[in-house]
Structure 1
């Protein structure tokens, strides 16, 4: 005999789990014990939201579901924000939580009046949400959850297991753990080829490449398609790393702020091939708004049938990697080149932005407080091409790395958007380092966001991971403060008391570097990247610095 928690551990291991992110309670200790006995690394977070962020990041970087483990009630609801974030990021994830018994009394410990409230709460933010109240359903639910999380458009699932089942001895037959995996059927190659006809019928075409390409790990095929067509490539604003930014065909991003070259490419295109973007999504709406009224849109995406936000020539769902491979083979025979005047117009816009950004940097590189553009420029100079950058809501981890950082390797910008919760980078960076210890990881965050997740420095120490956390410390909730000023609102509740974040890091046993002079930025970043320990670089920055997208674009 063994506990239900041990059965959960066995089912997770059967699904290939090697790491679980958790904040334990009485209800989950037997699960953690079962995982530990089976060689699984149980990583203790300091908040359940952070455990969910780590599971989300693990899923983005590996393609395998990251697993978060929580107790019932506040443990699960604390994780809900991270789960919703994984949903918008199309990240495979399994959140396993204790839940109360079906006939629990009102106001029970970790409960509200409805014992099913966690299943209901997670349902809109997951691909599947369920509660398990009998031992025999444990392996079935977990096996099904892993399959759902990774099929079609990836995403999170929630599996609640009754606390009494987790904590007490249960008798589950070995046969209950067997599972016949479903075979995912790819799209019909002839159907994909027919759908691509609008791209072959014009010499003014563009690609719109979204996060689905990263989730399918299929960027090499997309690069080949772009090069066969010789056409500009645009990415959604929040996923600029879906295509190499240093490629000559990259034309920037659209959404919230639009790169001029990207707008030129979309406005001048007769046909746009959208790859890895949900046709029903906000990102599809942005595409339709920026392109011409007569543009033919063709979507290749990983999900099932969806109603598109734009008038479409064709929508192809199913396995995205197979659709991309078919498209690659179709277009490698392409003989029609992209129109020279169209490409030249896109390139001229790119060159103008590059010149103006360089001039802007020259104007501000010596100012104090330090200008964020200088931080971004120096980071790009010293970081390796495949550096993983984690970003946050707000200016420091969102607007600045979206505007000007050059992502030379796909799937290297892991951030909280579009759900846009604060406090994402430090736990995300911890997970990234656990996935790939030899790779450079830089967490970009403001002081406001850092004060929401600084407790995960303790996790960095416990796991001996050596990411670099760069804090743009401007004593403000800077993005909102600037909005207040620009829109004529009172400057209320956006000041942050001055905090020496480098000293705070030292209190966690983490090396802290305080940077107040612009000439010290590069050496501080170089030193932090070279260290074999987690380093916090606390940079005193200008809260009033104007974004490149507003000043230049």
Structure 2
């Protein structure tokens, strides 16, 4: 029996190591791809919404380094995966977006029809409508685009008629993307490092690959210098390491460290990871990255484009004379922590403060992967959760989309079923993807969703209050998310206070499978936290 185009496409995906596809199928080519995928060992994961399916696929791409795959129907289905595609685009995740294509022009052929390729064009690295004759070779080129740094999404429009036609595997071979490497490091870069007495490492998303993370950690030890990671790079150097000072976001939390520096080594730092603020630091920057980025907030004194795992050792041929003292690093780290957790605060008298709740959650879930939604709760969660490895904390940063934590948690649990996942979200973000709890229940994955419930869009509420506007459009009636979870097949409970949270998370860990813990929080602390980190 000859292979169909759908067979050839899924065969190419399987050869790259793809093991799952996600989404909500339409009645066209997505059905051919589901059947063909099963024949090639690729499981289809049905999500409740296309948006969540796209996020699951994009996160899978990040975690595996192979393309995530999302399938959707024509028209509204295609439009609904735009948010997840934007996530993959801005956060450099390899993703293949398959959309059904309206067949021909019979009977007018305009129902549900619009230019789907034009819709995705601003977000994807490349896209095409495939046919059975040229489609296999074109698709191979799309896969190369998706998996060559900087990773990103590609779009495939495919009709059922073409998906079911005979086709042949292409002759082009798909391999790993390569980037140039410096055989000779420019002298200006080496001279800057030799002259530096107080260098600082800024670590971004391109440093999460294991080989790069090892090189970054070795460089930090070699230079005996402070390390600041972006949110995406959290855990590249473990947070417990005395050198790790916290995060670099473009806010003020990192200011004391960067003002004290005389040289900044930015490793794998994508400008999309920093908020849009002026760069006030005088230290020169050496930018080391896989690809040349668009203009960011700083102008580097030297830009080294290539594999950071090979560039970093070549930069550090001699023992450098660090001016950083261990006591100075300890004082900086202690000051960073005190900004968020004032040591004179009686935390036992603040049972609904989100800051000690983060400690309470992690205490009961050692070794868990954390996924975090966007919103006010994100600030204490990211600052206080202790990461010990790359990809152990997952957050939408460049796009900062809400509705991320639960679908990302499902993807992480499928990727590593032996490691539980804690998904910390606010009530606003959970409402955007609530029905994906049913997906977690159907799959039986251990995703413990902790919703910090203050019945408001608190981050927007803070900005509204700062502008002295009336509190309109940012607050909800309180929702019983535990009851909603039970209706969706997930064990739910409502708790208050640190001890109760620790006990509830511990019970969920012991029980396994999906759980939801609805935690009442008081938003009074969020303005103080935001001021400590951003203003």
TM-score, structure 2 normalization: 0.92
The CA distance in 2 between the partners of 1:249 and 1:263, in whole Å, is 16
The CA distance in 2 between the partners of 1:400 and 1:358, in whole Å, is 9
Flag the 1:350–1:83 CA change in 2: closer, same or farther, 3 A: same
Shift of 1:180: 5.7
1:289 equivalent in alignment to 2:286: no
Partner of 2:302: 314
The counterpart of 1:350, out of the listed 333, 355, 363, is: 333
Partner of 2:311: 326
Please report the RMSD computed on the Cα atoms of aligned residues, expressed in angstroms.
Answer: 2.6
Summarize deviations over 1:344-402 as a string: whole Å, max 9, x none. Answer: 5453232134346444684343335x111121111232222x42111111122x22212
Partner of 2:496: 516
Flag the 1:433–1:165 CA change in 2: closer, same or farther, 3 A: same
The CA distance in 2 between the partners of 1:30 and 1:38, in whole Å, is 13
Flag the 1:498–1:309 CA change in 2: closer, same or farther, 3 A: closer
CA contact (8 A) 1:209 1:236 kept: yes
1:173 equivalent in alignment to 2:168: yes
Alignment map for 1:59-98 (pairs within 5 Å): 59-98=61-100
The CA distance in 2 between the partners of 1:90 and 1:382, in whole Å, is 32
The CA distance in 1 between the partners of 2:246 and 2:140, in whole Å, is 40
The counterpart of 1:443, out of the listed 392, 399, 423, is: 423
SS in structure 2 at match of 1:312: coil
Flag the 1:316–1:547 CA change in 2: closer, same or farther, 3 A: same
Partner of 1:121: 119
CA contact (8 A) 2:371 2:424 kept: yes
The CA distance in 2 between the partners of 1:377 and 1:429, in whole Å, is 19
The counterpart of 2:205, out of the listed 199, 208, 211, is: 211
The CA distance in 2 between the partners of 1:37 and 1:77, in whole Å, is 28
The CA distance in 2 between the partners of 1:109 and 1:453, in whole Å, is 28
CA contact (8 A) 2:423 2:448 kept: yes
Partner of 1:300: 288
The counterpart of 1:267, out of the listed 231, 245, 259, is: 259
CA contact (8 A) 2:368 2:420 kept: yes
Shift of 1:551: 5.8
SS in structure 2 at match of 1:544: helix
The CA distance in 2 between the partners of 1:469 and 1:180, in whole Å, is 38
SS in structure 2 at match of 1:460: helix
1:26 equivalent in alignment to 2:27: yes
Shift of 1:216: 6.3
The counterpart of 1:44, out of the listed 41, 46, 61, is: 46
Summarize deviations over 1:301-354 as a string: whole Å, max 9, x none. Answer: 112465554232211223x3xx323312542x432321146x654532321343
Extract unaligned runs of 5+ from structure 1.
Answer: none
1:500 equivalent in alignment to 2:492: no
CA contact (8 A) 2:482 2:518 kept: yes
The CA distance in 2 between the partners of 1:104 and 1:215, in whole Å, is 49
The CA distance in 1 between the partners of 2:480 and 2:230, in whole Å, is 36
SS in structure 1 at match of 2:492: strand
Bigger CA drift: 30-39 or 345-354?
345-354
Extract unaligned runs of 5+ from structure 2.
Answer: none
Flag the 1:194–1:256 CA change in 2: closer, same or farther, 3 A: closer
CA contact (8 A) 1:469 1:536 kept: yes
Bigger CA drift: 351-360 or 484-493?
351-360
Bigger CA drift: 17-26 or 187-196?
187-196
SS in structure 2 at match of 1:171: coil
Name the one with the larger helix percent: 1
CA contact (8 A) 1:425 1:443 kept: yes
1:16 equivalent in alignment to 2:8: no
Partner of 2:241: 247
The CA distance in 1 between the partners of 2:527 and 2:395, in whole Å, is 19
CA contact (8 A) 1:212 1:301 kept: yes
TM-score, structure 1 normalization: 0.89
Partner of 2:372: 391
